[in-house]
Structure formats: C-alpha cells, structure tokens
Chains A and B, each alone.
Chain A
C-alpha cells in the first residue's frame, strides 16, 4: 500500500465507531465507566494551579460567528444541553452549563481539586490495567493561584509528579521566563513537548540552547509511548501566540506560531520513519483553531485540546483530505477529566470512546498523599490565603465573552482607587467563582489576578485610541478565521458602556462608547484610563493590592455600577444565554 492509502485506511477506521459517554445518569457511581479498548489516555488541561476544589461557572455568553455559529463550543445553557442530549437540572447540567448556578452550586458543591483528581486518575489507570494508560496535561498547569505565582509553579510540578503526568505542553508556563521554566521542567518527571516553539534567528546564531539545533526546536516535539501493546506518538502544541498575548520580555529568544506546515511535515516523517500506531496532538491552540487545523492537517488521529476552557462532552469529527481527526476540549480548573479510550491495532485505530468526566469533589474521596502534599506546599500561604476581605453580595464570576461581575468589581475598584474615568481588565478565561453570601478571601482575589505582570497603570488615552484597542481585542476573539484568534475573551471595561457587533468586519465592531455619566466618548478627547496586565512594563502596584484595599473598606461588597455591552447582529445566537 502506498503511504497515502495507509493514512486513509488508518484515519477512516477511527471514524467507524465513536462511543461518547454522556449519559451520566447514575450518581451512585459516575466514575464506573468500565474498560474499553487497549489504550486509555487521560487528559487534563488548564487546571490553572487550582489544587483545591473550586466553583467555576461556565459561560452564559460564548458567541460563534461565521462558520462557527451555533456549533460546539459556541453553545451555552439550554442550547448546550439540547445539543448534547443532557437532561436539565442534574449534576451533568450543572457541570457543563451556567444554569441556576448559585442554587446548583450549593446543591452539588465544589468541583476538581488535585487530591480528588488523584483518586480518580488512579482508579481509571488501574481500570485500564498496568502499562495501558497515559496521563497528559495540556498546559496552564503552573499558573492561576497566589501560591503558584509565589512559588513560580514549583508546587504544581510536585503535584503533577505525584499525579503521574506523563507529558505536558504549555502556555502561561512561559510567563515565568525561560530560566524559571527550564528549572521547573528539570523538576518535572514527565516530558514537556512543543513542536511549535523555535529559537529566534538571533538566538540560534548565538547558539542558544535548543532540543534540536538543526530545526531550531527549543523543546522535544514528540514522544512515542509504548502503551497497551502499541506505540502512541504524542505531539505537543504550545499556545501559538505567547509573545503577542504576553510581554515579549519573558521569551525574547523564542518564536511561536501555529506552524501548520512544520506540524504536517513532522506527522508525515513520523508515519514514514517511526510507524506509530496512532498519533495524538496535545494542543493548547484553543478549540476553534484545533477544528481548523484538523481540517487541514492529515494523519493525526485525535487532538486533545485546551486553552479556550470549553468543556465539550463529545469529540467533534473533522474530515480532512486523507481521512478524519477527532477534536476534544476538556474544560478548565480541574472540573473535568477527559478519558480517551482507544482500540488500537497495528497501525490502525479501530474504535474510540471518549468520556468527559465532571469531577465532583463530594463524590470522590480525596487521596491522602496528595492532600498531605498540598497542605505542606501551601502551609506558608495558608493564613494569608484565608483572610476574608469582604462578603460577596452577589454571584461573582469572570468567564464570558464580554463582562462578568468579578471583572466589574476589579474595574470599579481600579476606577475608584486610581481615580480613573475608565478601567480595562484583560479578558482572561481563568479565575474562579465566588457564590453570593460567601467571603471573598485573598485566595479568591489572587485566583483572578496572580500573574507575573500584575502591575496597574493609569494613562491618558484618546477615545480613538481606546476604540482601536477594543477593535483589536474584538478581532482576536471574533475574526471569522480561527487562525487569527488568540483565544481570550473581550477586554473588560468599567466606567463606560459600548456596543459590539461580533460578526462585523475588523474596525467596525465597536460603537456607542458612552461614559457612566451618559456622555458619548469623542475620538480626539483624552480620558484617564486605568488597567493592569499590560504587555509593556509598568510600575504600579499589583492589581490585587488595589482591589484588596477597595474590598477591605466594605463589609459586604455590592456592585453599584454595572457596565453594559449592547450586542448587535447576533439575535438568536445559541452562544448567548437567556437573560444575557
């Protein structure tokens, strides 16, 4: 058989039988999924260092435009449940959607947590039998809490080692800088894989360290694992836009990108020289990018995706010129564990079963060893973390395309404490949820703000400049071609309302910018704008200090001013929930 024919046979076979498991009706043992096939790949991604169980409200606004309209992952609430056939009101509906969030969160409790994940991972690996499983982490493992930021991810490497992570790729990992990242990776017992990180020309010329000097690849691109009697090639795909989305100073010697051409060459070379029985891409591209990549790149059986924090219960089958590829995305914050069960023969994937398990802390006995490790690692920070800053009057969450009460709180604090008319807060997709009536602790605040460039700034900007920035971010989110998206949400704005037309062309999405007093913004007039997480170096205080000062002044914090984003041209979009 010619190589092309082999590829065709190979990937077409993978389509024959996909067995999704989303029934999830028996809470007596949600996790008894039995055995299937000879290879089990467990997939965690975007845990954002949340070692303890969390509340994390899934978005009520996640709009898809163009070809992505109404398709997963751009479905929320009832549209999501209907599409995936999940009954409303139960545990799965709570895990996957925002519906009745406050009430359901009280009923079902927190989710995730590494001690709970450890118990679940061990059980699923034991169920697969020795030597038949892998545990892969899709990145954003080392960042997202106060202690992880203070320890530069060292706590998370210890936890990942105990959890048994075999391989990972990265995104926020890079924001600790090259030196620290290399130290963390020395401590890591698994492998760090990234096919799309290369030395810059200057760095290569100066003989900077690279895993493969010939290609300039900084990290190992692929690892071939012997699992279940077959050979599985795992390729790493780091977040493609690290030096654009974050300060370039953290990674001056490295250049990123999707690198589709290089990836295809890598896959072709693997197929012809190494003959793995299956190829899996461990990706931090984001789901829309992965879906496009799968349609263009041949020879990958499954893309295990992350970055966009989409909890998608069923893999999406994407056809490409030589067969098809399955694309998954397994949520964030440790709320979900992806279980990819494969029946793999010699050079052939015969059957696939994918299960995205919601990790309910109250249903899983925490692993004692992991619990003890977490307690030891975080003991120095325990007192500070537990400090109550104020009581939340309403549900505080971040995730959503445009706004969220948590970021409104941050923006209002910046406006007030820094005496600004307008405040900007980045559209990060991490950041946990605080229920109404709960204490907002320092740990909660840092779970929204703990990064390596947290400094606030205040600067004068014209209305025109502000619009240009907002148009730029909106295009990163709503460009009809996923390869031009970076995967965050829209920059949050306090002190100003505006309108957004997601499906409009670049430069035409943002309009009706209006200050809180009702005055329309003028293009050439100057406004005092506060913000944080700038890609340019800033000298202000960390934003957490600014917000903490604001919270300490009040016993119960109410959001007095809520800024609105009027959406245009997206009526009846199933990515917009009721009430939003």
Chain B
C-alpha cells in the first residue's frame, strides 16, 4: 500500500468538499501521528490501533516527558549513532507540518521512532519495520514551538539515535 498517495488523494477530496487545509492537517496529525511518505512500513495510527489494539503502545504515547516516553517504549537508553540519518529543516516554514525523515544503514532494523522533546506528548510516531523492509520513513509533524527532534532506530535489539533542533519562529524581519 502506498500510504503517501492515498493520504494525499483523500486530503484533496476533502479539500474539494470545502474543508480547509488546516482542518485536514490537524485531523491527520491528531495524536501526534502522521502517516505520509513511508516506504513500506505502516505507522501506528488511531485507525490501525483500533484494528490491532494489542500492539498500540498507548502508555508510551501518553507520556509527557521525552525520557519517560523512550523508557516506556524501549526500556533502554539510546546510543547516538552517525548511522542514523535524520532530515529536518533547521527553521520550519510552517510549524503545523514540519517534514521529518529518518533513514539508517544499520542492519536488522525492527522499529523507527520519532520524538519531539517539547511537544505536549513527545512520542510522535513509532513505526514497526517488518523484516526485509527498507528502513526509511518520512513524516509531517506538528510542532508548537522550537524543539529538539530525536530519531530512534531499533537495530539488533539496541536503540540508536540522532537528533536535531528545529526552530519554530514567528518570522519577519529578514535581511
């Protein structure tokens, strides 16, 4: 399934029915999850959670502190790695839809997770990666304010991380 184009088509249909883009964006991001542009893996989303409630890591998604969310989700401390690649803008053009993508050259990847430290619920997305799947996900996240974004990759039973600050600015007054 290509979630990317599916979501877009759905969004466009909604847009033509008169919903504003903002409503759609907010809808898509409810719960801090967005499922755009992933390669092969399906993210946990509310719809999916309903279908497969046993796998929805509800506790981790409910945590209000980054460290707690990571602890509840993995029970391990992440280790920074240059084999985890996190692509995100330095300054967001629109805090409501910040493009984030994560890829890695690490072997045996079983999950990829994105954490936004300053969001009310820092755990933003958690993608189980089935065996044989290219470990690359792309996402659009809502960020209320400037925050560190952390990409976590579960590989061979260990957790590796990369992070980057994404600034959300009021804009104006540029050169």
Q: A248-B93, A256-B93, A506-B146 are in contact. Are A488 and B8 (CB under 8 A)?
A: no
> Which of B73-81, B124-132, B152-160, B162-170 faces chain A?
B162-170
User: Is A429 on the interface with B (CB-CB < 8 A)?
Assistant: yes
- A201 CB to nearest chain B CB (Å): 7
- A478 CB to nearest chain B CB (Å): 13
- Residues in B neighbouring A56, C-beta threshold 8 A: none
Q: A248-B93, A256-B93, A506-B146 are in contact. Are A308 and B175 (CB under 8 A)?
A: yes
- Residues in A neighbouring B91, C-beta threshold 8 A: 241, 244, 484, 486
Among candidates A248, A476, A481, residue contacting B174 with C-beta atoms closer than 8 Å: A476
> Are B90 and A255 in contact, CB atoms less than 8 angstroms apart?
no
User: Is A426 on the interface with B (CB-CB < 8 A)?
Assistant: yes
> Are A426 and B90 in contact, CB atoms less than 8 angstroms apart?
no
Interface size class of A (residues with CB under 8 A): 35 or more
- Residues in A neighbouring B171, C-beta threshold 8 A: 244-245, 535
In the docked arrangement, what's the CA distance between A418 and B112, Å?
54
User: Is A276 on the interface with B (CB-CB < 8 A)?
Assistant: no
User: Is B172 on the interface with A (CB-CB < 8 A)?
Assistant: yes
- Residues in A neighbouring B89, C-beta threshold 8 A: 257
- B12 CB to nearest chain A CB (Å): 8
- Residues in B neighbouring A428, C-beta threshold 8 A: 173, 175
Q: A205-B8, A244-B91, A256-B93 are in contact. Are A484 and B175 (CB under 8 A)?
A: no
> Are A484 and B174 in contact, CB atoms less than 8 angstroms apart?
no
User: Is A246 on the interface with B (CB-CB < 8 A)?
Assistant: yes
User: Is B68 on the interface with A (CB-CB < 8 A)?
Assistant: no
In the docked arrangement, what's the CA distance between A487 and B90, Å?
14
User: Is A483 on the interface with B (CB-CB < 8 A)?
Assistant: yes
Smallest CB gap from A476: residue in B: B169
Determine which residue in B89, B93, B171, B172 has the highest number of CB atoms from chain A within 10 A of its CB, and name it. Answer: B172
Smallest CB gap from B21: residue in A: A202
- Residues in A neighbouring B12, C-beta threshold 8 A: 205
User: Is B87 on the interface with A (CB-CB < 8 A)?
Assistant: yes
In the docked arrangement, what's the CA distance between A430 and B174, Å?
11
- A506 CB to nearest chain B CB (Å): 7
Chain A, 480-507, contact with B by CB distance < 8 Å: what is the 0/1 string?
0101101111010000000000000010
In the docked arrangement, what's the CA distance between A256 and B12, Å?
23
Interface size class of B (residues with CB under 8 A): 10 to 19
User: Is A286 on the interface with B (CB-CB < 8 A)?
Assistant: yes
Determine which residue in A202, A244, A535 has the highest number of CB atoms from chain B within 10 A of its CB, and name it. Answer: A244
> Are A255 and B8 in contact, CB atoms less than 8 angstroms apart?
no
User: Is A358 on the interface with B (CB-CB < 8 A)?
Assistant: no
Smallest CB gap from B11: residue in A: A202
Among candidates B93, B146, B165, residue contacting A244 with C-beta atoms closer than 8 Å: B93
Q: A257-B90, A484-B165, A484-B167 are in contact. Are A533 and B173 (CB under 8 A)?
A: yes
Smallest CB gap from A206: residue in B: B12
User: Is A307 on the interface with B (CB-CB < 8 A)?
Assistant: yes
Determine which residue in A201, A243, A255, A258 has the highest number of CB atoms from chain B within 10 A of its CB, and name it. Answer: A201
- Residues in A neighbouring B172, C-beta threshold 8 A: 245-246, 426, 473, 533-535
> Are A244 and B90 in contact, CB atoms less than 8 angstroms apart?
no
Chain A, 153-188, contact with B by CB distance < 8 Å: what is the 0/1 string?
000000000000000000100000000000000000
Smallest CB gap from B87: residue in A: A261
Determine which residue in B89, B169, B171, B175 has the highest number of CB atoms from chain A within 10 A of its CB, and name it. Answer: B175
In the docked arrangement, what's the CA distance between A241 and B94, Å?
11
In the docked arrangement, what's the CA distance between A498 and B92, Å?
28
Chain B, 60-90, contact with A by CB distance < 8 Å: what is the 0/1 string?
0000000000000000000000000001011
> Are A171 and B90 in contact, CB atoms less than 8 angstroms apart?
no
> Are B175 and A245 in contact, CB atoms less than 8 angstroms apart?
yes
> Are A286 and B173 in contact, CB atoms less than 8 angstroms apart?
no
- A297 CB to nearest chain B CB (Å): 15
- Residues in A neighbouring B90, C-beta threshold 8 A: 240, 257-258, 483-484
- B94 CB to nearest chain A CB (Å): 8
User: Is A472 on the interface with B (CB-CB < 8 A)?
Assistant: yes
Among candidates B87, B94, B174, residue contacting A486 with C-beta atoms closer than 8 Å: B174
A-B contact sample (6 more), CB < 8 A, given A475-B169, A486-B175, A491-B173: A239-B174, A243-B93, A244-B91, A244-B174, A257-B93, A472-B169
What are the 8 closest A-B residue pairs judged by CB atoms, nearest first? A245-B174, A488-B175, A426-B173, A483-B90, A486-B174, A487-B175, A488-B174, A535-B172
A-B residue pairs in contact (CB < 8 Å), sample of 22: A205-B12, A239-B175, A244-B93, A244-B169, A245-B172, A245-B173, A246-B172, A258-B90, A261-B87, A286-B175, A307-B175, A428-B175, A430-B175, A468-B170, A473-B172, A475-B169, A484-B165, A486-B169, A486-B175, A491-B173, A534-B172, A535-B171
